[in-house]
Amino acid sequence: MWFDRVAKFLTEALEIQVTYKKELAIAIILLYPAFGPSTGPEAKKHFNTQTEISKLLGDDGMEVYKNSITLNNNEGLRDLFFLTPVI
């Protein structure tokens, strides 16, 4: 359901065509950061690694597309983030 909604939003509102599910997972994390680990007290809550988004992105992907923007904004993570085609 999230994949369909985000694909529709990207296509209709932003005129961005995304063809790969991994790119959609990245867009979902950026639009709905609650899917990933949060800062503050929320960071201590268990994150369900069995979701399709987590499986597509893996631990490294969750780190790059969630934490590189919010928590650990270092040059290496920023480079990986901005090299992503959908970005």
Q: What single string gives the DSSP state of each residue in 31-50?
A: H-GGGS--SGGGGGSPP-TT
Does pTM surpass 0.75?
no
| Rounded percentage of the chain residues whose pLDDT exceeds 90 | 15
4-24 confidence digits (pLDDT tens): 999 999 999 989 888 899 999
* Range with the largest mean pLDDT of 18-22, 73-77, 79-83: 18-22
Task: Check: CB of residue 82 under 8 Å from CB of residue 57.
Answer: no
Q: Using CA atoms, how far apart are residues 36 and 46, in angstroms rounded to an integer?
A: 10
CA distance 10 to 67: 22
For 46, the 3-state DSSP assignment is: coil
Query: What was the pLDDT predicted at 82?
Result: 76
Q: Is the pLDDT of residue 39 over 70?
A: no
Compare 24 and 86 and report the one with higher pLDDT.
Answer: 24
